[in-house]
Amino acid sequence: MHKTTVLMLSLITAVALVMLPACGAKPSQKIAETAAAKAAEIASGGKAKVDIGSNVDLSGLPANLRYPGAKGLASWTANQDSTKGTYYTLESSDPAAGVKDFFTKSLAGWKQSMTMNNADGSSMMTYSSTDNKQTAVITIAPNKDKGTTTISIIYATK
């Protein structure tokens, strides 16, 4: 299996573990972070780091993947050999359509391999840099109850 794919699957596993509290389980944040990091390490065979909270570091995202004014809610990083991947969760008060427009424009120089749009206003887009050394999977989902938009980005480098 391609290393980038394994890394992305590892990040998804970590996300699932950290989302346990939403399913009724009540582990503390630190326990959830540690469990998610360990799961990513086991799945990828590499090292992992999990950061959840209100002041998540977004410095690992290239400028064209940083949505202006978005608040970082969580990040999960896994490293394997020469491949590094991070799953970021951001939140913006802007409407989903505007967020999607930003990413479409900011990634205009990258190759777009997939776009999926749903009737609820959510969308998912997959891009890779022209040299194929960077990959981004961006999911945009409106949260109508809160009046916000959730932005999920899986960013991987080779």
Q: 88-102, pLDDT tens digit by residue?
A: 999 999 999 999 999
Provide the CATH number for the domain around residue 76. 3.40.1000
Q: For residue 98, give its domain range.
A: 3-157
Task: Find, among 85, 61, 57, the residue nearest to 71 by Cα.
Answer: 57
Task: Find, among 156, 150, 152, 83, the residue nearest to 120 by Cα.
Answer: 150
Residue with tokens 């969308």: 123
Q: pLDDT, tens digit, for every residue of 142-156?
A: 999 999 999 999 999
8-34 b/e with 16+ CB inside 10 Å = b? bbbbebbbebbeeeeeeeeeeeeebbe
Backbone angles phi, psi at 11, to 5 degrees: -65, -40
Task: Find, among 10, 58, 51, 57, the residue nearest to 33 by Cα.
Answer: 51
Q: pLDDT, tens digit, for every residue of 12-37?
A: 544 544 444 444 444 444 444 454 54
> How are beta strands 71-80 and 134-143 bridged, if at all?
unpaired
Q: pLDDT, tens digit, for every residue of 98-128?
A: 999 999 999 999 999 999 999 999 999 999 9
Per the structure, the count of domains in the chain is: 1
Distance separating alpha carbons of residues 39 and 7, to the nearest angstrom: 12
Residue 79's beta-bridge partner residues?
Answer: 47, 84
| Single pTM value for the model | 0.70
